[in-house]
Structure 1
């Protein structure tokens, strides 16, 4: 919208007004809140925190100050936002499990890897670390531009000088409008080494850089298993995925008594939540190869996993846990950063590293120019002092006798205004002979420094060599410190392990019970006496099947929908179970007509409606992990799916209608379909089906009457083809 004067109103469409305001908000979020600057790797709130602490002189050599004081300065002078968000940012800069190289040293409770929050800012204290001082070095030497603060009462740096590669060393995460960034931390010594190689050989490839930067280096350690070629691709694109696993070992008391000890977790995984997840899996019998889990952590991580059997393979146990829990996690790389603090762009590893080198190089130019100006000024002053000593008596006379001594001295001794001013302000005791000697000595030193600075500023090559030399010194410094050694191990991704041994340990025979009122549960064992089962008042057992606790089973409803349920999701048989509607989305007008085990994808299920329409469906067309199931059979309007059968060795089917007609025909006359309404199986003339029986013709038909089962082999009269009406049923039916 145009520039408006006070009181002026401009008409515009709602869509235009909304789009312009949303764009302004989006750009504000991107530029001033969520995305880091590629040069110092900081968001505005982090930069202002460090600068406020720098102004408070909270250097590593000085004492701590209350975090409340720091936060107060930040929100009062630089960052007009809520104190909670600023304090959270300060806390994260100090957390050793969140920041690979903490920029703030905290004193007090700054949270834990369990997800515990920090103490209130009135209780905690903080100061800058030596790493943060590297970020701030050069602020007093015009290394970066300063801009007015939000209220124009102070000034703040646009970006920090950042002799430390903070963006890559500490990583960062942020979400803006329509874009996000997530960069993992890396090893500082490796970054300095790679930067030297990039200066030495600008045409170096990403693959060449990865020889020096081995991959992310997380503060919590862990094991990086991402293949090198995938890392190279991710770094080249600026987007990709890194897979990190927990570090673990086996402690053995005897050959038949061992336990797994987890000593390092993947980055950003909360220990307490992870332990709770594994404990839940044990209770749900999804990891029945584990007996127990214990947390013996103090300052170091120590999680104990007790196996159920000493015969198990620890590698297989951990492989299964990696699949099921956050003991293995993925870190999504997205190097979307502000290029020179202006435009967001996804940059490659080489581009990010080069942008930081260029920033350090620019800082060197600015610091050198600032120093050269200071040296020239001091040389000018010293040369004036030397003229003073050569003409001391005359200078004293002029000062004592002349009305305008400054003007006379300038004319007499060819002094500059600056030289004359300093001579007039000089103390008499400085006129000693020793002072003259020191001035001449300082003058000679400064002339030498001036020559070096002029050479440096005149040569791009010399400056880059200077930067590379600084990087080498910093590389050595970070290599010396024990806490700066690489924490995250690099290992080759393991081959796919055969976990069938675990599955055998997992397997337990269970009997699934589904009650008439829709409650489902699992009893341990097979061949159980169903009469001993207890149900809620008036409820009874409707269906039961015998399977393993690692199996899945199908549940069929009257609308023709099929649901797949994992036995491991069922509660034990001690209570009354759970309503089936808590496991699946069963329509209010539908009822459950049966359950069948799911063994193989080739097993076949026969669907039959109450009006004698049906089809055969292979099990692989039934499975669905969704709560809503899969619509397989579509009954005619006013009718419903009423019968389901698993076909084993049967080859014929018997239909008995309520009209009293019986029809037998071969099963192979029923078509196999994946879904649909099926075909007519018996002509019922409006009557519904009374009974259905699958049997093997060679073995005969076994039919139970009120007295006892009967075997019948003489069935020729009723054998016909599918879709016929059949004959009047025999007396023994």
Structure 2
């Protein structure tokens, strides 16, 4: 008969076989489980030792005995692979907290191999018992072994977060894990804090776990890599050897290395240093010796007389393994799948595992206690009716008949037994309702009872055991029904582990950092090379300006000394060509954040110091060098704020030229990606013209180009999403448009004046009290008289007497003048000259400088001393340019709410 043949696609077979192999390596060999932090081989080793009763209080057993049990029952791989894993569990230079206590040669930090398994002996460490506690109480699932003749635990019911405690190293298919070891005390403190406050911020969690704690000690440089690893699951930690420079009596220096980075081979390190000296890549080393012994490590490097030891050491850090990088890659198996884990996720998964283990343990203990109470209850009733019980037993042919008779016999005395056991009256009342009947288990226990249980002392023991069992049952039921009590049990067990196994304070060599008291082995130090850009910039006042063509520059405010009003100003160098103009100018500290709003409705976020620093004579840089702007997109407005000064009650208020306004929470702009974020929907015929920061309880003033202004409560503008267009804030006549908005606090701004500046260099300040609060969407009040002399309104700012004003022109000139020199006039006047302008020159921007104080330059300028660039002298009198006598024709406009009907609906959030 011919054999049947089938066709197989080799591509499909290869794909299927490779995926099966890859998943086997990932799940069953290379990656640890997030719950107990163990790979299958390590779990099987510890379980085999547990089965052999190879505990820390028992004598050592041959390593070959343990390896034989592991490969024979649970791990179908080579004995060398299992023994290598067993050896690593016993190495104190590989494990921060070794899980195996080894006797014999288990290798060294020099790379020496361990002795053969027939020569070495092992037993569990004391801490290891905490990984296996309650294993027999049905706390974890059990799975068949490879030949389905044995059962093994799928995970251990560990009481310690072993994944982070000892870390893990493994290379799977297409992925690898590299988790550093940590300090037990720090991990348990963080876990307990997370139990106490499940909403604990990650920043506070990082305060408990300072960083990895390597068994070989060393020094970790900087915290940026640690934070990245804990927050993202991946990062790089720079570890440096602990070195000291010693000087002998003759003044000759030497370098002494007492700790080296984790996973560095000491012999290879010394050979590498010797080769660097031999190849003359490092000069200045006369000799190198290894004086390490059982008391500790000591690598002695002699430095030549004519060389500085610190310079030689720096070269060694750079060119040898005295300084290495530990690449953190926190991948573990979660619910049968590999997952990249953050510090918070690791701890939360451990807490969830403990919750499951303790719940299953309590259920097991409850069932066992209830079963035992049932037996004790039957014994107590039988003792009270002992005569009848004996009679039934004596009249029976065999034990089966005696058991049947006992189960059929109604017994009295259950209520009496409960009273002696101090049970509640409700239970006693229920017991008196009818006779007590024994079940099969109780009857068997009575038949097995020894006669000595009939003595008075034994009867008291039965009653005492019953009381104790009732208390245990009540406590277990309370734990199972109350999640808070369950977490309290877990917390108490973690505290016990912490104080039992945590490193004694001050025991280890590391001095620690940020509050560490010496229990760490690895010191945390500030990395001189890891200086953040903000640390290199003084937090001084800056003037930031952007031009219409998209150029930006910042300069110290001190670049512009004070002049009297009416001067011609100083050149700012802020234009690339004659056609460009400054469209935005403001003062902020160098460390402040800036929100940059564009004409397309997008927003970016930068620090002030991230913009190019220049002087008055330097040209600005293109904004596209700093922001991811699209074609035709340009920055229109900027809002500056200090991060420490804002909270959830702060809002960003945006206004458009057509009078629309919207209010969005500042928190919606805290996480802005490099490509920007949508800030508002802008109509094609409209544009954003201003943005301000409020604290939720302010008044808003909108000023228009034709000299109108309206003041209203910011609460009149409801909170909106980022993509909304907004509602009508100010009504406008034909040809008019909004130029900017102001934010006024309800209290503490009684001395505020509103300074309005027009494009031909004239302006005035008016007390804020003259602007009464109105309903939004009205035409408002007249704030300055627009005339041929003044020109249109450029902007309005709020000022105090002690402030200074900076005005910038279309020619790039800037004047800085004290506000006190500007007359305080009524709303409908024309104002005074602020700056003298050339032909076709107009004012394009203004900014306030908060109470800067006076220096020598200020005093000179106030005395009328002329400076560079030909700035003119002050005007003789402020009143010379005023038009106080002209009528204050007030244009109140309609406050009517009818205009509010023009509000645009808020669009849906993107």
- Report what 2:356 is aligned to: 362
The answer to whether the Cα contact below 8 Å between 2:242 and 2:259 also exists between their aligned partners in 1 is yes
Q: 1:8 to 1:212 in 2, by over 3 A?
A: farther
With over 3 angstroms needed to count, the CA separation of the structure-2 counterparts of 1:447 and 1:9, relative to structure 1, is farther
> Normalising by the residue count of structure 1, what TM-score does the alignment of the two structures yield?
0.65
How far apart, in 1, do the equivalents of 2:464 and 2:109 lie? 58
Residues 256 and 185 from structure 1, CA distance in 2 versus in 1: closer, same or farther, beyond 3 angstroms? same
Q: 1:389 aligns with which of 375, 383, 387?
A: 383
The 3-state SS of whatever aligns with 2:520 is: coil
For residues 559-611 of structure 1, give each alpha carbon's deviation from its aligned partner in whole angstroms, at most 9, with x where no partner exists.
xxxxxxxxxxxxxxxxxxxxxxxxxxxxxxxxxxxxxxxxxxxxxxxxxxxxx
| 3-state SS, counterpart of residue 207 of structure 2 | coil
Q: Offset at 1:313?
A: 3.4
2:126 corresponds to: 130
Q: Quick check: 1:492 aligned with 2:526?
A: yes
Q: Distance in 1 between matches of 2:322 and 2:6?
A: 59
Secondary structure of 1:210's counterpart equals helix
Q: What does residue 886 of structure 2 align with?
A: none
Deviation at 1:74, TM superposition (A): 0.3
Answer yes or no: is the 8 Å Cα contact 1:34–1:43 preserved in 2: yes
Q: Is the 1:376–1:450 contact (alpha carbons within 8 Å) kept by the matching residues of 2?
A: yes
Does residue 94 of the first structure (1) align with residue 90 of the second (2)? Answer: yes
Partner residue of 2:244 out of 246, 249, 252: 249
Contact preservation (8 Å) 2:375, 2:442: yes
- Which residue does 2:117 correspond to in 1? 121
The alignment status of 1:205 with 2:228, answered yes or no, reads no
Whether the 8 Å contact between 1:282 and 1:292 is mirrored in structure 2 is no
**SS of residue matched to 1:365:** helix
Q: May I ask how many residue pairs the two structures share in their alignment?
A: 488
Report what 1:475 is aligned to: 498
**Conservation of the 8 A alpha-carbon contact between 1:142 and 1:370:** yes
Establish whether residue 15 from structure 1 lines up as the match of residue 11 from structure 2.
yes
Partner secondary structure for residue 450 of structure 1: helix
* Residue 235 (structure 2) aligns with: 240
1:248-647 map, 5 Å? 248-254=243-249, 256-299=251-294, 300-309=296-305, 312-340=307-335, 342-403=336-397, 404-413=401-410, 414-479=437-502, 481=504, 482=507, 485-495=519-529
State how 1:215-226 maps to structure 2 within 5 Å.
215-225=211-221
Cα shift at 1:480:
5.2
Q: Distance in 2 between matches of 1:168 and 1:27?
A: 24
Contact 1:96 1:102 in 2 (8 A): yes
Counterpart Cα distance in 2 of 1:465 and 1:253: 58
Q: What is the CA distance between 1:429 and its match in structure 2?
A: 2.9
Instruction: Work out the CA distance in 1 between the residues paired with 2:501 and 2:377.
Output: 43
Distance 1:235 1:315 in 2: 33
Do the aligned partners of residues 306 and 44 (structure 1) sit closer, same or farther apart at CA in structure 2, a change above 3 Å counting?
same
Distance across 1 between alignment mates of 2:403 and 2:7: 65
Q: Which residue of 2 aligns with 1:661?
A: none
- State the partner residue of 2:632: none
State whether residues 253 and 309 of structure 2, in contact with CA within 8 Å, keep that contact through their aligned partners in structure 1: no
2:841 alignment counterpart: none
Q: Counterparts in 2 of 1:175-194, with a 5 A limit?
A: 175-194=171-190
Structure 1: 5+ residue runs without aligned partners? 1-6, 498-733
Residue among 44, 49, 52 paired with 2:48 = 52
Contact 1:297 1:303 in 2 (8 A): yes
Q: For residues 242 and 202 of structure 2, what CA distance do their matches in structure 1 show?
A: 28
Provide closer, same or farther for how the CA distance between residues 9 and 141 of structure 1 changes in structure 2, counting only shifts above 3 A. Answer: farther
Cα distance, 1:255 vs. partner? 6.3
Residue 347 of structure 1, CA deviation: 1.0
Distance 2:274 2:257 in 1: 15
Query: Corresponding residue for 1:61?
Result: 57
Distance 2:224 2:327 in 1: 16
Q: Using a 3 Å threshold, how does the CA distance of structure 1 residues 480 and 346 change in structure 2: closer, same or farther?
A: closer
Distance in 1 separating the partners of 2:328 and 2:41:
22
Q: Displacement, 1:409? A: 1.0
The Cα shift of 1:410 comes to 1.1
Runs of 4+ in 1 over 6 A off after TM superposition: none
1:679-690 matched pairs, under 5 angstroms: none
Q: What's the CA shift for 1:80? A: 1.1
Taking structure 2 as the reference length, what is the TM-score of the superposition?
A: 0.53
Give, in whole Å, the separation in 2 of the partners of 1:441 and 1:203.
Answer: 44
1:554 equivalent in structure 2: none
Alpha-carbon shift at residue 485 of structure 1 (Å): 2.4
CA contact 2:283–2:312 (8 Å) conserved in 1: no
Change (3 A) 1:496 1:411: closer
The answer on whether the counterparts of 1:206 and 1:235 sit within 8 Å (CA) in structure 2 is no
Distance in 2 separating the partners of 1:107 and 1:312:
45
Task: Pick which of 17-26 and 469-478 moved more.
Answer: 469-478
User: Cα gap change, 1:478/1:313 in structure 2, threshold over 3 Å: closer, same or farther?
Assistant: farther
**Kept in 2: contact 1:206–1:232 (CA 8 A):** no
SS at match of 1:338: strand
Once structures 1 and 2 are overlaid, which stretch shifts more, 314-323 or 270-279? 314-323
**1:143 and 1:366 in contact (8 A); partners too:** yes
Counterpart Cα distance in 1 of 2:224 and 2:328? 15
Q: Deviations over 1:670-719 (max 9, x none)?
A: xxxxxxxxxxxxxxxxxxxxxxxxxxxxxxxxxxxxxxxxxxxxxxxxxx
Q: Is the 8 A contact 1:141 1:370 kept in 2?
A: yes
1:258 Cα deviation (Å)? 2.0
C-alpha distance in 2 between matches for 1:214 and 1:10: 62
Q: Say which is worse superposed, 197-206 or 316-325, in terms of deviation.
A: 197-206
Distance 1:383 1:496, change over 3 A: closer
Label 1:297 to 1:8 Cα distance change in 2 as closer, same or farther (>3 A): farther
In 2, Cα distance between equivalents of 1:282 and 1:159: 51
Take 2:4 and 2:519, find their aligned partners in 1: how far apart are those partners?
64
Correspondence for 1:169 among 165, 168, 179 = 165
- Distance in 2 between residues matched to 1:316 and 1:490, nearest whole Å: 22
Q: Which runs of 5+ in 2 are unaligned?
A: 411-436, 509-517, 532-910
Structure 1: how far apart are the matches of 2:493 and 2:147? 38
Give distance in 1, aligned partners of 2:529 and 2:20: 51
Q: Is the 8 A contact 1:207 1:232 kept in 2?
A: no
Where 2:325 maps in the other structure, the secondary structure is strand
The structural deviation recorded for 1:495 is 4.5
**Aligned-pair Cα RMSD in Å:** 1.6
What is the deviation of 1:459? Answer: 0.9
The offset of 1:8, in angstroms, is 8.4
